[in-house]
Amino acid sequence: MSGLNRREVLKVFGATAAGLTAAQTVQEAQAQAGTVVWSDYVVFLNANAKAFIVDTRTDQVVASLDTAKGATLGSMTPDAKKVYVSGAAEGENRVVVIDMQNLQVAKALQTGNRPKHGLVSPDGQRVGVDHWGLSEGKLRLVFIRTADDTIEKTLDIPVKNPPKGVTSMHNAWSWDSRYFYSMDRVDDRLVVVDTTDWSVRTFPAPSVPHYPCISPDGRELWLIHEGNAQTRPGIAVYDLNKPNLPIIAQMEMPLIGEDAVEAHHGNFTQDGRYFMALNRGPGNNLRGREVAFFGSRSKRLVHRLSCASTGVGHAYNTPDGRRAIATNYGNNVITVIDIPSLRTLKDLAIGKGRMGHVVFTKDGRFGYLSNADGNLYKLDMRSLTVVKTIETGQTSGGGQVINVWTNLFEELPRA
């Protein structure tokens, strides 16, 4: 698709509906055409205010950088030249910029109370940052220019209710980089920012919102909401073609045999055919094991499976889209899922702490998995065996690992 002109792009994706501009469709095609750069380095984030840079050509730690307390999440620019790391610990207010060309910290910006997860836009021009704590009683979103790493805009959004825990969670961008979608967990709302004029709109969520996913065609937002005493955990689908973003479908997690429930993350398979939703379990009751597959067109449950891992939270797609690895918060077991047959290939115990996150080499030959024991584990994706342990000497190492731009944790750029 990399050589398509505008007319051909529109032919592939269908005529654009109201609210979905031709520019957005072109941007989507470019994003799906694999224009991002995969880094030779893996950035391994640690809650102890550290980032370890691992060279995948040698599997050696080549830099150990100071970041910020609770800095376990970050985002890479599409050109792989920078990583933005958010410090989410109590009392922290910094987003740290890592220069990937010189393997050093370039800058730290104070953005607000407990930056949660700064996310780079598909065009690479901005970073949208949400926060785990209110700033002066308001929900804060901050936008950073990647050109010079200065703050472009700060938005403080009023809330009505007192916080009942952390006040935001994760974000997503529209494919044309115009709209930024974030979570209001105080008043249970989806927050939408139009970066052309910095206007803010909010839309009710069925329960506490956790994770927004933009559909591969850019026309829908699938929102994972955690559930509560009145509402089962599940997914709400918002129609992005219409100005009022109506909810056009709602799906409940099946929760078969589950005695601890809280929907956590979800994402589309690389081919866009299925949406995977995971049940983690609430708070420290990390016993959820279910991965539910919903048809992206039918909006209905297609299949579900149980993992040997507990507190499952993330399902990472491999670059070829044929597999996903489910990681968790409850133990040291990963579950490898075969996507074409929707079955478990292998449950594999790795390391001594709970599992964290995964990245893959661009060719899909190897995966690098973080673990709370502080080590990074290299997984051979053919034999599904660990072939190397990369030690850092620090525990609390179950943080994110990053080597490519993504609009979400687990979905990769689509070739």
Show the 3-state SS of 97-113. Answer: EEECCCCEEEEEEECCC
d(CA 286, CA 301): 23
Pairing between β-strand 82-86 and β-strand 73-76 as defined by DSSP bridges: antiparallel
Q: Can you tell me which residue has the tokens 């055919």?
A: 273
- Residues 229, 268, 400, 375: what is their CA dihedral angle, to the nearest 10 degrees? 100
Q: What distance, in Å, lies between the first and last C-alpha atoms of the chain?
A: 8
What domains does the chain contain, in order, with CATH numbers?
A: 1-33 (no CATH), 36-204 (2.130.10.10), 254-415 (2.130.10.10)
Residue 66's H or E segment, with its range, is: strand 60-69
Q: What is the pLDDT of residues 256-297, one digit of tens each?
A: 999 899 999 999 999 999 999 999 999 999 999 999 999 999
Given a cut of 70, the residues of the chain with pLDDT beneath it are: 1-34, 415
Over the Cα atoms of the chain, what is R_g? 20
The CA–CA distances, whole Å, from 384 to 308, 346, 365 equal 16, 8, 10
Closest CA to 258 of 284, 229, 233, 236: 233
Residue appearing with tokens 């398979």: 269
324, 345 in Cβ contact below 8 A?
no
Decide: 386 and 392 in contact? Cβ < 8 Å.
Answer: no
Picking from 287, 315, 306, 140, the residue whose alpha carbon sits closest to that of residue 213 is 315
Alpha-carbon span 348 to 334, nearest angstrom: 5
pLDDT for residue 409: 85
CA distance 273 to 29: 17
Considering only CA atoms, which of 103, 75, 170, 177 is closest in space to residue 132? 170
Distance, in Å, from the CA atom of 306 to the CA atom of 412, rounded to the nearest integer, reads 24
